[in-house]
Amino acid sequence: MELLSGPIAAITLVVLWSFEAFLPGLAGPAAGMRQRMCHLALGLMNAAVSAVVAGLLLLADMWARGHGFGLFRAAEMPWWLEFLLALAILDVWHYACHVLAHQIPLLWRFHAVHHNADKLEATVAMRFHCFEIAFLGLLTIPVAVLFGIGIQEVAAYNLILLPVSLFHHSNVRLSPRVDRVLRLFIVTPRMHWLHHSRWQPETNSNYSSVFSVWDRIFGTFRSRKRAETVEIGLDGYEARDIETLRGMMTSPFGPAKSEYGERPDAAVLEPDDPLVVIELKKAETGAV
Ligand SMILES: [Zn+2]
């Protein structure tokens, strides 16, 4: 199943790059080919890291099956329910690991490589330091064993995550109305652009990977009516940290560099969510 990830990534990228070329969504200059090539190189390196982690997951899965270990095996559910629960558990686990990557300074050093890109486009979905991919993969193994989630279910989740992640990192102009409906289910570009904002309250929001529901459940959802005005990136880095493959691999080491940007003008921060707007109006008027 993992062999499908290459063709799925290629097809999704061709579609998204076409939209990015003709219908860019974000204000400011578009990303260049050099950035895309660096990200594709990182993607290949991370695919090799993921293959090693998948080998370890396979061994753990064989051990769990051999010993009848795992909550799902004890519950004896229909296969489709087990599959849906496995997807939900893997996705909420991704959400939790993502929050930790923002909150724990050592993890943030590596995750900041993903955030210091100053231009968003689909391949930013591949811009992760290899140590972060290894760490996240290794953290998935005990969860899979505990619940009895098989390697096929992990591979299926990764096959869903890949195109959704390329999509929500892309710089495509999607109608705000369509985006609003789509993000009831999955993470969309206008939702995820805020996660790449230089302003910390927005950087530390919208952590979900596939299903957007986790941000609403755990209170980390934010929106902007004018999402296209988000200033992408992190302060504190030099151009070579941001633009070169060598910089992406070495910037987590040495003195901490990442800094958050200033609060944007209030005029661009108007939320784009009916429930949040109602809450803000209540807070302004003192209504309960
Ligand atoms: Zn993040």
Q: Which two tokens stand for residue 249?
A: 């691999």
Rounded to whole angstroms, how far apart are CA atoms 235 and 10? 32
Residue 254 C-alpha to ligand 1 middle, in angstroms? Answer: 21
* pLDDT value, residue 275: 59
* pLDDT value, residue 288: 41
Nearest by Cα to 187 from 113, 278, 125: 125
Residue 14 C-alpha to ligand 1 middle, in angstroms? Answer: 25
Rounded to whole angstroms, how far apart are CA atoms 59 and 43? 24
Angle CA(69)–CA(73)–CA(76) in degrees, nearest 5? 160
Which residues make Cβ contacts (< 8 Å) with residue 62, sequence separation at least 6? Answer: none
Rounded to whole angstroms, how far apart are CA atoms 119 and 183? 22
- Bridge partners of residue 172, in order along the sequence: 24
Rounded to whole angstroms, how far apart are CA atoms 90 and 145? 12
- Bridge partners of residue 235, in order along the sequence: 259
CB 203 within 8 A of CB 115: yes
Residue 273 C-alpha to ligand 1 middle, in angstroms? Answer: 21
Residue 114 C-alpha to ligand 1 middle, in angstroms? Answer: 7
CB 198 within 8 A of CB 237: no
Q: Return the exposure string of 68-96: e unless at least 16 CB atoms fall within 10 Å of the residue's CB, then b.
A: eebebbeeeeeeeebbebbbebbbbbbbe
Residue 97 C-alpha to ligand 1 middle, in angstroms? Answer: 10
Q: Give, in order, the Cα–Cα distances in Å from 56 to each of 61, 207, 266.
A: 9, 27, 49
Residue 197 C-alpha to ligand 1 middle, in angstroms? Answer: 10
Residue 278 C-alpha to ligand 1 middle, in angstroms? Answer: 27
Rounded to whole angstroms, how far apart are CA atoms 256 and 49? 25
Rounded to whole angstroms, how far apart are CA atoms 93 and 140? 8
Q: Which two tokens stand for residue 110?
A: 């590596």
Rg, the chain, Cα only: 19
Give the pLDDT means over successive 10-residue stretches in the chain (288 positions). Answer: 81 93 85 90 95 95 92 87 96 97 96 95 96 96 95 94 96 92 95 96 96 96 92 93 94 90 85 63 53
Please give the sequence-ordered ranges of beta strands (E in DSSP) within 58-101, or none if there are none.
Answer: none
Angle of the 79-103 helix axis to the 105-115 helix axis, nearest 10: 100
Residue 263 C-alpha to ligand 1 middle, in angstroms? Answer: 18
